Homo-oligomer: A and B are copies of this chain.
Amino acid sequence: MVDKPKFNTALHEKDGVNQPESFSASSIANITKLRRKQPTATELVQGILNGNKTALSRAITLVESTNPSHLEKATNVINQCLPHANKSVRIGITGVPGVGKSTFIEAFGKHLTGTGRKVAVLAVDPSSSMSHGSILGDKTRMEELVKDENAYIRPSASGDTLGGVARKTREAIILCEACGFDTIIIETVGVGQSETAVHSMVDFFLLLKIAGAGDELQGIKRGIMEMADLIVINKADGDNIKKAKLAKTEFNRALHLFPAKNSGWQPKVTTCSAINHDGIADVWQIVSEYFEMAKGNHYFNAKRAEQNSYWLTETINEQLKSSFYTREGIAPLLEQYKKAVQNNELSPFAAAQFLLEKYFSK
């Protein structure tokens, strides 16, 4: 860049001298245009309804923003998109690191776009330190899908609290649906608290496993198996095929010991080799059977209505807690009382009573 005197009035400007490149009018115009082009809520909604992925990404970024001034605009976008949402199937996919989630989702997603579906992949991973980075975000793990015109991949929303991440993901689902995606895949890693949250925002819950589950699979949280509508045993290839088939029999037997699901659906088990694209069509076949059944017996809509109610009360409850636990002076008192309670010096109920009096007296 050339150093030159600055003139504050146009009188000093010489005619016929071109501005140096770094000051080029077109660059400035571009910047100004970009700044000016922060789209309005209605423009974003228009873009989304037209199937524009850039508008979709911008709207999701807005929803994810922690800047309080963005909240109103985000709510506005969501409320305008709501009437156009809800026309998809939502599938939760979980499994501990090492089962091949990314490979599976890539193969599954490609199969779906191949049949004309539009697939959006989102991730819930509030505790990314626990998942050792195995959760998507890292788009390079889905090389094929990320290039697919009919697919949209969005890494996990940042945020420390599960409640926050859950809200952002729920709203991202609405935006993706309004954008025309008819199959929403929510990926999560089966080691944290996030599975219950994901289970509460999807229609179908798929648990990915591998055969010969040794210690590497013991990390999965208790209770997750009972949530599954389908267990897929991945890496059923080469020497693994026999083991995978045996695992399928065992899981099938175990699933029959569980009580029946409200949906009336008997959870299934199947095997696949995501890397060889073997068995992927069967997975979709089973998922489709579920949706046919659940839409037929009206469980599908009933569950969605129930999930909406759940998120309403869940959000209220979370915020009530947040108001208490972040109130000035509560945290140190809580620590103190927690210790007394753990040492059996005070009953938990007496301690709670005292802390609540402090909170409500202000």
Contact = CB atoms under 8 A, between A and B. Distances in A.
Interface of A: 75, 78-79, 82-83, 85-86, 167, 170-171, 174, 217-223, 225-226, 250-251, 253-254, 257-261, 305, 308-312, 314-317, 319-321, 323-324, 337-338, 341-353, 355-356, 360
A348 B310 CA distance: 8
Q: For A170, A314, A315, which residue has the most chain B Cβ atoms within 10 angstroms?
A: A315
Nearest to A166: B349
A322 B88 CA distance: 36
22 contacts: A75-B347, A78-B349, A82-B344, A85-B344, A170-B349, A218-B259, A222-B226, A223-B226, A225-B226, A226-B226, A250-B253, A253-B253, A305-B343, A310-B348, A312-B337, A312-B341, A315-B348, A316-B355, A316-B356, A317-B320, A320-B323, A320-B324
Nearest to A356: B319
A221 B218 CA distance: 23
A309 to B, nearest CB: 6
B342 A258 contact: no
B254 A257 contact: yes
A86 B222 contact: no
A170 B356 CA distance: 19
A347 to B, nearest CB: 5
Nearest to A310: B348
B352 A79 contact: no
A48 to B, nearest CB: 15
A184 to B, nearest CB: 15
B221 A259 contact: yes
Nearest to A254: B254
A24 to B, nearest CB: 45
Given A79-B347, A171-B349, A317-B321, 6 more contacts: A170-B348, A220-B259, A309-B341, A311-B352, A315-B353, A316-B355
B312 A352 contact: yes
A214 to B, nearest CB: 12
A98 to B, nearest CB: 14
A176 B12 CA distance: 95
Nearest to A301: B342
A259 B215 CA distance: 9
Contacts of A218: 259-260
Contact of A78 (B174, B258, B337, B347): B347
Contact of A342 (B85, B250, B309): B309
Nearest to A308: B341
Contacts of A344: 82-83, 85-86, 308
B167 A308 contact: no
Contacts of A356: 316, 319-320
Contacts of A310: 348
Contact of A257 (B79, B219, B251, B348): B251
B323 A167 contact: no
Contacts of A353: 75, 315
A85 B311 CA distance: 40
Q: For A257, A312, A314, A351, which residue has the most chain B Cβ atoms within 10 angstroms?
A: A312
Contacts of A217: 259
Contact of A352 (B319, B342, B343, B347): B319
